[in-house]
Amino acid sequence: MSRPPDPTNPLTSLRFDNRFTRLLPGDPLTENSRRQVFNACYSRVTPVRPVAPQLVAYSPETAALIDLDSAACTSPLFTRVFSGDLVLPGMDPHAACYGGHQFGNWAGQLGDGRAINLGETVNRRGEHWTLQLKGAGPTPYSRRADGLAVMRSSLREFLCSEAMHHLGVPTTRALSLILTGEMVERDMFYDGRPEEEPGAVVCRVAPSFLRFGNYELHAARGELEVLRRLADFTIRTLFPHLGEPSPVIYGQWFAEVCRTTAELMVHWLRVGFVHGVMNTDNLSILGLTIDYGPYGWLEDYDPLWTPNTTDAEGRRYCYGRQPTIAHWNLAQLANALHPLIGDPEPLEQGLTDYSRWFEEGWQATMAAKLGLVAFQAETDTTLTQDLLALLPAVETDMTLFYRHLADIPAGNADDRIAPAELAAPLMAAFYRPEQLTPTYLEQLGSWLGRYRQRLRHDGLVDAERKQRMHAVNPKYVLRNYLAQLAIDDIGAGDFSLTSELLDVLRHPYDEQPGRERFAEKRPEWARHRPGCSMLSCSS
């Protein structure tokens, strides 16, 4: 294990420029004990060395971001470095200090409890990418937990990060999934029956892992000098186009966070993603999807659906509420930034604009999903509202519905097609044939009639419209049960489904003949199976 690294491996020539630790105040204590850390943005901490690390999968696209080729990724050195076994020269491992509002309540200090940033590598294009191990051992922020992660949740984070990227949804990326060789105890459903599960480490990659909660914690503690330094650091390194930090620029920065967050919410709704734990410590300052925990994908369209069992009662973070929650979270960020600006006006403006940006973005996205050239409020407001009321009336697979809607011909005004015949291309989307009553089919047929009329008004050729619709309505998403099948297989020592899913999800909008089984609706066995329809925060 302790042979010297091979100097020809591109890993050994990774360059590091650790701006976060160099430019921001750190915790003077280096002892790795759980504690409150004041007046500091991070604490230095060393990853725990794994017993027997084993590479399950890596993402070639994320590797390319940091100039690593497949030979480097399959080298023993890669597995050592990205499991926490070996810290490379130039790295500066640390855990970030942040707080957050959890389920609407201020929770105080949280911090990277099981994430260790290795450092910021600079690629050939001069871009900085922060490398972060999740599950590599405790930090001063681990509170009462162990700092570890299990394979089940790590696989879900690894695959979903990459799937989201290929769907065009802003996200942190995942470089690798590595089993540590150790077992980790988890009480998956908090029912007092803990079990041993294989431990794993994911290496995540992003320009920054800063969250709303980083700013909130310093503001809540009155650490205004640290808050100002962190804000200035953020603007200089991540928002340099805004110019030198000043009260006016802080306002413009907040507006940009509001805009990117609004765009992110539009994307989540477009693809049917439910984050599951939209606490302010899980919202990225860059508008990235971050912290994949008990997330899920809408199968049957239900705006109140949440995969997170911890939230089953209140459904605070259900699919349909995500844009409202993001606004609430932005309001907490605004409160935190207020002392820097003094004037509430630009912050209030940002929050008002958020709602407008979200609304405009959502309308444009709905138009695109329906294959309309542009959203025309007079007709399309009710057209989309009526559709979104129709979808939950019977169990309708959201992904399949939009995908197959592209097969509905615009037709002619004098067509006389029976509702059932008109709806035929959509049949694959329905879970329960017995729900397709004549009344329902009548309603669906009537909506399709209006839809076709609207399509004829645009006058696009069917084939062209289909192409446009297929570019925004994915065929392949990481259905909850697919991730679970890959988890089951890894448990049995078989990594092939993980690789295959990673590959399928690389082209989510393409037909990919021969891979249709990955685009099918959730099988009945998965309806109530834990991991497929219900997830807990235990990970």
Q: How far is the CB of 3 from ligand AMP (least distance, A)?
A: 32
- Paired with 105 in beta bridges are 102
| Residue type (1 letter), 410 | A
Contact between 338 and 347 under an 8 Å Cβ cutoff? The reply is yes
How many residues bind ligand AMP (CB under 6 A)? The answer is 18
**Counting contacts by CB under 6 A, is residue 147 touching ligand AMP?**
yes
**What is the smallest separation between the CB atom of 284 and Mg ion, expressed in angstroms?**
10
The count of residues interacting with Mg ion (CB under 5 A) is 2
Binding piece for Mg ion, criterion CB under 5 A, among 78-86, 196-204, 276-284, 332-340: 276-284
Task: Look at residue 346 and give the partner it binds from ligand AMP, Mg ion, none, a contact being a CB closer than 5 to 8 Å depending on partner kind.
Answer: none
Measured CA angle at 402 (ends 400, 404), to 5 deg: 65
**Residue 276 near residue 317, CB atoms below 8 Å:** yes
Nearest to ligand AMP of 424, 537 (CB atom): 537
Q: Which of 27, 67, 281, 291 is catalytic?
A: 281
Q: Which residues 6+ apart lie within 8 Å of 416 measured at CB?
A: none
Alpha-carbon gap, residue 91 to 22, rounded angstroms: 12
Regarding 291 and contact with Mg ion (CB under 5 A), the answer is yes
Identify the bridge partners of residue 132 per DSSP, sorted by sequence position.
Answer: 117, 204
Among 154, 282, 309, 498, contact with Mg ion (rule: CB under 5 A): 282
Instruction: Candidates 32, 121, 176, 282: give the one binding ligand AMP (CB under 6 A).
Output: 282
Bridge partners (DSSP) listed for residue 116? 133
In the bound state with ligand AMP, the residue whose beta carbon lies nearer, of 111 and 287, is 111
- 414 has catalytic annotation: no
Shortest distance, position 310 Cβ to ligand AMP, whole Å: 10
Q: At what angle do helices 212-220 and 322-341 cross, to 10 degrees?
A: 50
When CB distances are held under 5 to 8 angstroms depending on the partner's kind, the choice from Mg ion, ligand AMP, none that residue 111 binds is ligand AMP
**282 vs 399, which CB is nearer to Mg ion?**
282
Distance separating alpha carbons of residues 527 and 208, to the nearest angstrom: 37
170 binds ligand AMP (CB under 6 A): no
Question: What would the two tokens of residue 435 be?
Answer: 């729900």
Piece of the chain touching ligand AMP by CB under 6 A; list 111-119, 164-172, 328-336, 476-484: 111-119
CA angle 500, 115, 532 (to 5 degrees): 40
Whole-number Å distance between alpha carbons of 67 and 316: 41
User: Residues 43, 234, 279, 332: which binds ligand AMP (CB under 6 A)?
Assistant: 279
Residues linked to residue 58 through DSSP beta bridges, in sequence order: 176
Judging by beta carbons within 10 Å of its beta carbon (0-12, 13-18, 19+), is residue 123 exposed, middle or buried? Answer: middle
Binding letters toward ligand AMP, positions 62-81, x by CB under 6 A = --------------------
Structure tokens at 169: 């949804």
Cite the active site residues. 281
Contact residues toward Mg ion (CB under 5 A) are 282, 291
Interface with ligand AMP (CB under 6 A): 110-114, 141-142, 145-148, 277, 279, 281-282, 291, 293, 537
